[in-house]
Structure 1
Amino acid sequence: MDEETDSPEDPRREFAEECRSARELHDPKALTQEDLARLVRTSRSTISRVENCQGAIPPEIPPRLDEVFGTDGKFKRLHEEAVASSFPTLYRRRMAMERAAVAIREWSPTLVPGLFHTADYARCLYKGGFPRASAKETSAFVNDRLARKAVFDGDMPPDVRLVLCESVLYRRFCPPDVMRRQLKALLDAGERPTVRVQVLPLDAPGHLFSDWPVSLITSPNHTVSVCVENFRTAGIVDDPDYVRTALRTYDELTGDALSARESAHLIAEQMEKLT
């Protein structure tokens, strides 16, 4: 068993124990791992790995377990906690805030933000930064990254606003087919009623956020925190004056950006050029 699962309070271990318990106590009769695998549309070996804390939990499994066992989101919550615990302490508060948010405003000058990643895009990004990473490490990163997208699928998903620098559409660190699928994922996300995607043109005026990605996360009590990330660092700023400045800057960005419809058209154009 992995070292991270030695604590009985570890959410990954709790997920495994709850899965095994729900399976064995299932009414009217206990389920075998093969029975459960069939119900959640996966393999027996996957259920075995989940129950033995071997590797990451496939992100499609928790909601299916909740459906089979009628557990009202328990497995989804434990999975989110397990994913958050796999990140350095520096990022965990941000992850918790993201899961509870009523609104998320994202700005990125360089890359598609993690909330919108496809598996292939995330994999190329990770391998570019960590070329010596093993297949297991890369797979764990991709699974953790995709698990963050669960915020879109809850009963009350947050309002998400994304502004991308136009240069993000043209960056070629991954193969054209991977980038094409990533751009398609952006278009699909923008069709959600709670998501708005805008592109900031290359000739837009300079602004406070020009050099780094920024997230503004609104909590259920409507306070806003500003999250800034850089190389292996992350900062969360709650100071009211800074937050007001950040909100004003974001409003300026959305005002200078193309409309959602114009942005979608530009993204689709770039997709067609990728061969």
Structure 2
Amino acid sequence: MPGLLQTASYAHALLRVGLPRASESEIRHKVQQRIGRQDLLRRPSPPDMSVVVCESVLRRRFGGADTMRGQLSALLEFADRPTALLQVLPLEAGAHGLVDGPLSILAVQEAGMIAYTEGVQSGSIIEEPSQVRQLVRHYDVLRATALSPDESNRLISKLLEAL
């Protein structure tokens, strides 16, 4: 689940599992930082944002039913924004070129396209044009394989009702 779309409850549950030795204070601080970055999406003119979320992420429970209800509802709210595009990659889609972790592609006026990949412990900014083009292509294939936005919303709603 992209950090920009996580609820505080979901982020807390995720970070608690991912950082088992962290104090509750450290976890709260990390949650506040993550949620604070979402201010970007609340601006009067938020950036266009396209997100593909794997169905397995939607089905994997973090923090219990209430946390998941809140998280799935937040995704549906995000999908209603005019600058947002949310798609779900179905489980049946199989392997793809971005299976090893999250990818963000940023269109920056001064720099063109930049990619950011994330791992469990670190992230990398990729500026080399040929590498960025390859990642953009992987993302294009991923989007073409994903459910349509309407189908994605129906699946998320169905999962929400099942909770």
TM-score (normalizing by structure 1) = 0.57
Give the CA deviation at 1:222. 6.2
The structure having more radius of gyration, on CA atoms, is 1
Is 1:250 equivalent to 2:139 in the alignment? Answer: yes
1:153 maps to 2:42: yes
Q: For the residues of structure 1 that align with 2:72 and 2:66, how far apart are their CA atoms?
A: 10
- Partner deviation per Cα, 1:163-191 (whole Å, 9 max, x = no partner): 01111111023201101110000000010
How many angstroms does 1:132 deviate by? 3.2
Give the number of equivalent residue pairs.
Answer: 163
Superposed counterparts of 1:260-271, under 5 Å: 260-271=149-160
Gaps of 5+ in 1: 1-111
Q: Deviations over 1:70-121 (max 9, x none)?
A: xxxxxxxxxxxxxxxxxxxxxxxxxxxxxxxxxxxxxxxxxx1100010100
RMSD: 1.3
Compare the two structures and name the one with the higher strand fraction.
Answer: 2
Q: Which residue of structure 1 aligns with residue 96 of structure 2? A: 207
Q: Which runs of 4+ in 1 moved over 3 A?
A: none
**More RCO (CA 8 Å, sep 6+):** 2
Q: Could you tell me how far 1:133 is from its partner in structure 2?
A: 2.3
2:119 matched to which residue of 1? 230
Kindly provide the CA deviation profile for residues 218-256 of structure 1, in whole angstroms up to 9, marking residues without a partner as x.
113361111111122111111111111111111111111
1:2-17 matches, cutoff 5 A: none
TM-score (norm: length of structure 2): 0.94
Q: Where in structure 2 are there 5+ consecutive unaligned residues?
A: none
- Please report how far the alpha carbon of residue 260 of structure 1 lies from its aligned counterpart in structure 2 after TM superposition: 0.5
Identity %: 42
Q: Does 1:113 align with 2:2?
A: yes
- The separation in 2 between residues aligned to 1:146 and 1:175, in whole angstroms, is 19
1:134 to 2:2 alignment: no
Alignment match, 1:166: 55
